[in-house]
Amino acid sequence: MWPVLVLAEKKLHIAMNTLIKLVLFSYVLISSVLPSSAQSCSNYAFASNKVFTTCSDLPYLDSFLYWTYNPSSQALQIAYRRTKIASSRWVAWAINPNATGMEGSQALIAFQQPDGTMKAYTSPVDTYSTLLQEGDLSFPVSDLSATFSSNEMIIFATLTLQNASVTSLNQVWQDGPVSGSNLGRHDINGNSILSMGTVNLLSGESTPTGGGGGAGGSGALSSKTKKRNVHGVLNAVSWGIMLPLGALIARYLKAFKSADPAWFYLHVTCQTSAYIIGIAGFATGLKLGSESPGIQFTAHRVIGILLFCLATLQVFALLLRPKKDHKYRFYWNLYHYAFGYMVIILSVVNIFKGFDILKPEKKWERAYTGIIVVLAILAAFLEAYTWYLVLKLKKSASAKKTPNGVNGRNGV
């Protein structure tokens, strides 16, 4: 009995040491993938307890945009937040239905009046020489208000868009001086002439279009879009390709005696690599989720968290793997196979859910679908061939038991 306890204690000690190393490695990996940012839309909580499904760090003028869009009602709830701003300045955020510049934009304006109260109003910008006079916009606006506190000015509004098919908007944001109740002209140099771009209400992608400078220049992918792409690639490669491939190695290569024990090391290497890469993909997913204050848990996120937990259990199960002749090996096999196939099925389902969210070019989804189809055909062929080998071995073993005739009796 004592040798068994000592062996179990040693295995537990090895498992704990490995767990600590994996946790430390994961912390370092996640820290490198998720750089901290003291000034980010995802780190901000509104004093009014308002929440929005999506937010974007605008590349110029220390500004941030938050929104919730309902495609069915075409209602767009927004909050434009300008930080590091004095009370003696006005701020504006606008949509331009027809162009990417200021002229023709439909603006929301806010400033602090001499008595300390905030004024928020709408102003159609018809020319570059505008005085930002109050007037109706080309679409209905409701719940318009503004706040100023701690050198931050925020505009809140609900817009009812007129074209349901348009989900990518041209946006402009700006600020300038205030004298009494008179709004002065904004700066016409530096970041003030770059503060324009496009925003996709569904994907959250925000792209600068002003002047070709700043954060990547015209047409550059936003930071959030890059994170989405990295997240998609890491997870498609790890959970969606390497894990199924590792399972194929374990199930079918071990049928060949010449592949033993090479198949086991290939299987462990493939699955462990997939797990490590998957941690990075999982981390980027957490970061993307944190950048949308108040966002609801979607099926994609829930499945992703479940996958991470199940895969982690699989890694630690490997450390406690009993020997082939151990009485608990049968139960360990059941657990390992059940969890393994569950992870693979959920992984493939979640990859396709990710495609629906990210909406990349169709060629990427077709390419992944092609890879899965090839793996499925290969699995079907190897499954049939494995059963052929098993039946052949059984037949051979049965023949060896009766070499001299039927029922093992000579001459009969």
Per the annotation, where are the binding residues for heme b? Answer: 231, 267, 300, 336
Q: Is 75 left (phi over 0), alpha (psi -120 to 50) or beta?
A: beta
In three state form, how does the secondary structure of 213-280 look? CCCCCCCCCCHHHHHHHHHHHHHHHHHHHHHHHHHHHHHHHHHCHHHCCHHHHHHHHHHHHHHHHHHH
C-alpha of 63 from chain center: 23
| Cis peptide bond upstream of 261, omega within 30 | yes
Q: Quick check: 144 and 122 in contact, CB under 8 A? A: yes
Q: Quick check: 176 and 187 in contact, CB under 8 A? A: yes
Q: What is the Cα gyration radius of the chain? A: 30
Q: Which residues 6+ apart lie within 8 Å of 81 measured at CB?
A: 41, 44, 63, 64, 65, 66, 152, 153, 154
Spell 234-259 as b/e; 16+ CB within 10 A means b: bbbbbbbbbbbbbbbbbbbbbbeeee
How far apart (Å, rounded) are the C-alpha atoms in residues 79 and 52? 9
Q: Strands 118-124 and 54-57: what pairing?
A: unpaired
How far apart (Å, rounded) are the C-alpha atoms in residues 80 and 48? 14
How far apart (Å, rounded) are the C-alpha atoms in residues 13 and 9? 6
How far apart (Å, rounded) are the C-alpha atoms in residues 217 and 208? 7
Q: Which residues 6+ apart lie within 8 Å of 49 measured at CB?
A: none
Q: Which residues 6+ apart lie within 8 Å of 173 measured at CB?
A: 58, 60, 61, 63, 65, 80, 82, 91, 92, 93, 94, 195, 196
Q: Which residues share a beta bridge with 66?
A: 55, 79
Residues making up the annotated binding site are 231, 267, 300, 336
